[in-house]
Structure 1
């Protein structure tokens, strides 16, 4: 019989738990003992966690969810109605998005009983059996210290605001507006410079389409929110009474019962759109036809997934050098443990335990700091920029946990490689003080090359496919490229070490040390490579998108000229007064177009084309949209310039002769001919040097390449059809009522420079210019178009601001835009991306260099002992930092090329009407300067900082070797 006191052997699980318990205890002690190194790891892992957590907190604080948004949209009501349409609608949850009400399926809506001017609220209230509260939204301008401030005015009546509209509108002090001449100012209005009390000059639109200025009194301070669509709720500057001619009008529904989906469908037959609190909270009650689904956007999911994947990968690479050096520093103690019987799993758990402890510490510190920073950033942003709306502070704890788990995982993954290397620990060599990486395995770089090739093929293959599922193929390919490249890094370090005899002495020593200690150098190079790869990918993608925008950009005017845009088209006289008040040196040109008579008769002009009948020439008849065949690749034989343009370069523009002459810069003979009722055309000799006009407008065509349609000239005159016709309810000409006659105009030929000054491009450019006096003699009514503005030289930014101020003073909704060519809008984003990635590369290089210098302290002591000066030691430190950073950066650029090219293809591929891909628009452009500048500059900066870091002589100690 056995001894009763003999203890049964512990189970494998118990031994595993005990081993991890010991490893974690040792890891905690090691973290406390080596605080500096631990702090570096916490920074490397915790910083990305902090940024992601802070960004997540900002995102969820800014992005209102349904529960937060509904009270700001509806107050305490059941929903709202929007203006009835004259056709039936089939809406989704949002009344402004619908299906099935296009030209092929629309039907006339039922008439809301009693609906008419002044009776809208009462009629809709009877239709719903509810009390309705009208809410309007108007735009206006307020003069503040000689500056016009654009404001939004929310119109509500005081009893509704006080009773059922909170918190859509709420009052902090004072009282609600009780008349059209009273307003409540909000925090947003106060931030814009509006006073808390007193009077201000407010300009708002009138029912006649003009604007009026009136003095309003500020009677209170509060908050107010407007909404346009289901996903919107934004603050406004002023709250007043409902406006008579608003930009938008809603009716909030007050009743005890909810607005259900069947009732929404009934109201849709009256053309009334409804936003219902009940349907928003219970979307499953919606009944949609088969094949119709709610709109969704999955692109955001893909972007978030890609960003999370990239940051997780980058964090793993950043933490790699620290754990590699940590494992290297512990080689002696681990070798002693192995000589005393420690197994390989126990040695590995020692390194992984440290990674787990530091990963948890980093994740907790980063997550807590990120939440605090995100909340603080939201508060500060709202204080500095009240127009940037943030909802209630919100922390997505699920996102925080995901990010923290990713940080812990990245820390453990970063320690896996050095921990695996402990399996090949040469105990004797380590105890003797020899620290050399094991011989390079041949199959490792071969496997790496194969993975890289497969990854490149995968990302390029995915770039030729439009389905969303191929996005995962792209991500998988990118991961294979990175993994394969990491396996090739040791081979690169070895090869460079072999040719290092060609390099200067400090660089030679750095290259040979990196080749000899590949286990420590590889993670450092990998971290830098990851940052450089992200930089190359982002820069290539942004460059392709920028060039696509530049190629497709269509200038509307000659560069340096401006245009006044207004919903009510500022008249010629008003435009001249506005611009003259801003800067007398500026010139204006207010083009005019023909308009129908009050009885519905339309009068038009079209240039006669030889050999073509009137029916073949007049575009309204020749190209009847109900019967005409769409044009092919060439212009029809009878295409001509007409008052109703049908082809690019075929429009007829009318303008005052004096304005036209001044704006184009005509000479005296041209002015006299034009004043006699002439027609201004581009000199045919000049026109023949320009590319021929095509039937379809080509986006991106420069103004200098625009060519008008050719029309025959009989000496110095041009013959035109003047014709009138009626149109049916669809706007199609009724041929039986067409009347036509011929008229002639004297011709004024313009050179190319004069011609380009007059072009407000529109659809493909202008064909000819006719004076208003000639049109008035033909008894044709006209209407004003947006006014063009130019100066003796290109309009400056100061002139632009002056005109913009004067324009908005006259019309709150008007604007002034100056043509300055294509303006890249991603410069700020690109600068941030380059700065962050350059900082990441720099930090990774410096931390790896610092850890390496700490480990190389015995070597530096030996060098000092044999006479090496501080300058020599500095050169060595700088060479190590520069060499590792440069190798990693160059490899990173090479790694980022394939994903960058694939993203460029995805961004610039166009799609045909049938859903197919058109690869003829693909743009592949590599911005070498943007990529190489930080790639070359950062290693030099890292080397310089490493040079400066060597400040004193090392302590010389006895070495084992």
Structure 2
């Protein structure tokens, strides 16, 4: 009876933990671990809050960023109302040939079945001024023309670039909403009336009154006219299927607009068969129905619609980065947390707790803290993102004009990455509990287990394989080898992580030569490798990424600097407009911007009104006219290979066939001022002379070839040699007409010879008047000489220079003056090669430096918390606050410095390999490694490596401000 009553509870169903299934026991174990984890989080709020910040902050930033991104990035359903209003779609002006479009009418997939472009069908009644009626009959509905033009609005003394959408909104406001909406006032009813939008108001346009507006004419000119603001509203324009953007002004449709669409208003949808029918008339269609239902399109088997998965790719990539970042940052915290629990875990082990139960204790805390951190970070990020999007809409209405949007899939991915990173960060210290020395821990001897030899050996092998893989991939051309490079880089980092404990142990053994605080820090890290290794690993990973990135960017920068070819003398500028300015207009604009600036507007010879071409060519000794005149001597439809030597009779002519052979016309005074000629040179030019480079200087320059090498510096551009008879030059003056192939008709050629005086320019004067494009100029002929020859000329781009290099202020003033006259005009100053990645590099260095600093400070803070009994003992035996500060600072500097130095060494091989990949030249025969640039920017790499540990040490020094509480120690 007694034996039976004793055995009954053991066989009772009330003991599932003992006789349940393995799954039941696993669930019961995790329930206990999670319950203990929740209690530990509440008991140690400070440490828990620290981990919540480390894990939750990246989650917050990514969630807020994804909310901002998706609020700015509109999908098709969000774009269509702003593109089409309530209409069924829009048409674009017909082409001469039939088309085969995709969703976007500007994208096509091929021609007809016979591989030719069939002529488009004629649209009945389509003619200038009758387009709307003809297109309306073609589609069976009403069409509303919408134009888009760019111009310049003058407000007070400022010029603003504006886009003007032209549409008769007063007659179709209901059909065009919300593409157009009116907040106050009325729509424009006349050509001199406009409605200003929120974007225009943000740019500085007034709510009412008049504005001076310059718009391009069909001839390419721009004329100022005054417009009256009659209302405030919103308007959205669209360049294509993927684009929608707000405009500054809304007026009536304009002639000469850069874009014209015809919105289709009817009851039925524009289906794909009807789109194909309209394509036969050369009319492109953007259909609401097709955009929302792309599966209704019938395309050839070899044609597929492009898919846009960039958003998901970026989110997944960012989440992977979050996983690595938070794992590195949270690793030290969980390592210290596991170390603090060693005593309680040893007691549990002594009472029968299994290895898996001990691990679940640490992993349960990571799971609870990770879930709490990720949820708090995601919720805070959502709120921050929505608030930021709302505020940004007011500051940047050109970007944030769509509905606020939360991508829940992105939020879930980021949250899951945050939770996973916490568990991964706790995985390493939890694995270390399997080697827990219960007796040593209960005695208070908290020392890491002896280092296993095979771990660093494996690490060295993985590192060697990784370095070999990245270098091997740098010698290969196939795109698939990028995966070899990435795999090699991952193996290099992984192997280096396995070597870190050995490095800490070796440094600790050789620390006797260090000062006392540094010696104690090194030995402390060597004894507690389980706590120090994650910290060093986090710092090493950041430093390795920094080194790789800096080396790669430096190589790319040096390649850009070596291959950059200035097109002007440094400090000079060039005015670029859709239609060249006249000399008088250019001089007026330049002088209005700054009287100290001078301009040079070159001219080229043009055919006469009757189609006769009048040309000039310098006579070459021993060459007949037929061998010299390029239009007669050379076939305009043929080409020569780069590097070919010039023909014997090649010469300078008004129609250039070779680099350095062009004859340019310029005003004598303008050319003299621009080149800085002396009085004697000026007198010759004013009399109708020719300006050439001094032959003595030209002979010292590289020889001219048949094709211009773009990499030739402007200082080495050489004109084609022509003979000089003292201070004069002999030229052929000839005229001709051309046939359909562009060749001169022999019976129409008329020629004579003329002699012109010559001015020889020194090299500095010559370079001032050069533009580097197409190999430079051969000679400059003055307008006085051309006027006597009855030759028609056309103006080219205007060069600008000052007494010294054009300053940023002068550049801005001239650009404003230019765009006030020509809205689409641009002004570029040659300032040599400028690095484009400086801002990105600064951000990357700052972020990585912040990671190193945060990881170091966290490890130092947690280490100091764990070392509180030791600090108390030191204080009890007379250690001053200065000594304790030195210990804390030394610990921070030591860990940061070891991790940073290891990271730089680890990043060298991937950095050198990526330098080879991006600077090698890809040729038909393979890769040309003669162009490889390997340059290590030690200053950029070592500055964070040295400064960040010092900053961490200084902060750790300051953090020790009070005496520790002396308690009784167990050992």
Distance, in Å, in 2 between the alignment partners of 1:230 and 1:900 is: 40
* Contact 1:48 1:315 survives alignment (8 Å): yes
Tell me how far apart the structure 1 counterparts of residues 741 and 65 of structure 2 sit (CA, whole Å). Answer: 52
Structure 2 CA distance, aligned partners of 1:282 and 1:635? 60
Do the aligned residues in 2 keep the contact of 1:134 with 1:242 (CA within 8 Å)? yes
Pair 148,627 (structure 1): closer, same or farther in 2 beyond 3 Å:
closer
Q: Decide whether aligned partners of structure 1 residues 635 and 902 sit closer, same or farther in structure 2, where only a CA change above 3 A counts.
A: farther
Partner residue, 1:526: 537
Instruction: Report whether the alignment pairs 1:951 with 2:948.
Output: no
Q: Give the 3-state SS of the residue equivalent to 1:763 in structure 2.
A: helix
Q: Could you tell me how far 1:301 is from its partner in structure 2?
A: 7.2
Partners of 2:381 and 2:178 in 1: how far apart?
Answer: 30
Per-residue CA deviation, residues 212-258 of structure 1 (Å, 9 max, x unaligned), is: 22221111111111111221111110000001121211111223333
Assess, with a 3 A threshold, how the Cα gap between structure 1 residues 955 and 623 changes in structure 2: closer, same or farther: farther
Aligned mate of 1:201, from 194, 208, 212: 212
Q: Secondary structure at the match of 2:163?
A: strand
CA displacement at 1:690 relative to structure 2? 2.5
Structure 2 distance, partners of 1:622, 1:309, is 65
Q: Is contact 1:604–1:644 with CA below 8 Å preserved after alignment?
A: yes
CA shift for structure 1 position 831: 1.8
The answer to whether the Cα contact below 8 Å between 1:335 and 1:425 also exists between their aligned partners in 2 is yes
Matching of residues 438-449 of structure 1 within 5 Å = 438-449=449-460
| Preserved contact between residue 320 and residue 417 of structure 2 (Cα < 8 Å) | no
SS at match of 2:445: coil
User: What displacement does 1:112 show?
Assistant: 3.9
Q: Provide, for residues 802-859 of structure 1, a one-character-per-residue CA deviation record: whole Å limited to 9, x for no partner.
A: 2222222222222322222222232222222221221121111111100000011111
- Aligned partner of 2:653 among 642, 647, 650: 642
> How many angstroms does 1:647 deviate by?
3.2
Deviation by residue 1:370-429 (Cα, 9 ceiling, x = unmatched): 222222222222222333344211111111111111111111111111111000001111
Change (3 A) 1:229 1:641: farther
Conserved 8 A contact 2:322-2:417: no
CA distance in 1, matches of 2:316, 2:698: 53
Residues 353 and 589 of structure 1, relative CA distance in 2, 3 Å threshold: same
Of 801, 804, 814, the residue aligned with 1:790 is: 801
The match for 2:524 among 513, 524, 536 is 513
Report the Cα distance in structure 2 between the residues aligned to 1:228 and 1:97, rounded to whole angstroms: 12
More displaced stretch, 312-321 vs 298-307: 298-307
In structure 2, what is the equivalent of residue 48 of structure 1? 58
1:499 to 510, 519, 522: 510
Structure 1: which 5+ runs fail to align?
A: none
In 2: Cα distance, 1:696 partner to 1:293 partner:
41
How far did residue 740 of structure 1 move? 4.4
How does 1:403-802 map onto structure 2 within 5 Å?
403-464=414-475, 469-612=480-623, 614=625, 617-620=628-631, 623-624=634-635, 626-728=637-739, 737-802=748-813
Out of 6, 12, 19, the position equivalent to 1:7 is 12
- In the TM superposition, residue 338 of structure 1 has moved relative to its aligned partner by 0.5
Q: 2:67 aligns with which of 53, 57, 77?
A: 57
Change (3 A) 1:294 1:375: same
Q: 1:562 to 1:628 in 2, by over 3 A?
A: closer
- Aligned ranges for residues 11-30 of structure 1 at < 5 Å? 11-30=21-40
Give the TM-score taking structure 1 as reference length: 0.95
Aligned pairs for 1:134-533 (under 5 A) are 134-289=145-300, 291-295=302-306, 306-464=317-475, 469-533=480-544
1:48 Cα offset (Å): 1.6
- TM superposition shift of 1:568: 2.5
Q: Is the 8 A contact 1:551 1:700 kept in 2?
A: no
Cα deviation 1:731-772 (Å, max 9, x = unaligned): 565666555444433221111111111112222322221112
1:267/1:463 CA distance change after superposition, 3 Å: farther
Deviation of residue 942 (structure 1)?
0.2
Q: Within 1, Cα distance between the matches of 2:544 and 2:749?
A: 68
Counterpart of 2:47 in structure 1 is 37
8 A contact 1:514–1:521 mirrored in 2: yes
Contact 1:80–1:275 (CA under 8 A) maintained in structure 2: yes
Equivalent pair of 1:234/1:389 in contact (CA under 8 Å) = no
**How far apart in 1 are the matches of 2:547 and 2:29?**
44
Contact 2:170 2:189 in 1 (8 A): no
Question: Secondary structure in 2 aligned to 1:958?
Answer: coil
- 2-structure distance, mates of 1:812, 1:181: 18
Tell me how far 1:145 sits from its aligned partner: 2.3
Distance 1:81 1:721, change over 3 A: farther
Change in Cα spacing, 1:170 to 1:468, as seen in structure 2 (3 Å) is farther
Q: How do 1:910-949 residues align onto structure 2 when only pairs under 5 Å count?
A: 910-912=921-923, 919-949=929-959
For 1:489 and 1:831, the matched residues in 2 are separated by: 29
Q: State the secondary structure of the residue aligned to 1:164.
A: helix
**Alignment check: 8 A CA contact 1:49 1:407 kept:** yes
Q: 1:266 to 1:186 in 2, by over 3 A?
A: same
- CA deviation after TM superposition for structure 1 residue 694, in Å: 4.0
Please, what is the CA RMSD of the aligned residues?
2.7
Structure 1: distance between partners of 2:125 and 2:102: 27
Measure how far apart 1:773 and its partner are.
2.1
Q: 1:97 aligns with which of 86, 93, 107?
A: 107
SS where residue 152 of structure 1 aligns? strand
1:551 Cα offset (Å): 3.2
Q: Does 1:814 align with 2:825?
A: yes
Matched residue SS, 2:79: helix
The number of equivalent residue pairs is 960
Whether the 8 Å CA contact 2:343–2:442 is kept in 1: the answer is: yes
What's the CA shift for 1:648? 3.0
Comparing 591-600 and 625-634, the one that deviates more: 625-634
- More displaced stretch, 569-578 vs 717-726: 717-726
8 A contact 2:319–2:413 mirrored in 1:
no
Partner in structure 1 of residue 874 of structure 2: 863
Is the contact between residue 552 and residue 699 of structure 1 (CA under 8 Å) also seen in structure 2? Answer: no
Give the Cα–Cα distance (whole angstroms) in 2 for the partners of residues 310 and 538 of structure 1: 15
The whole-number CA distance in structure 1 between the counterparts of 2:655 and 2:117 is 27
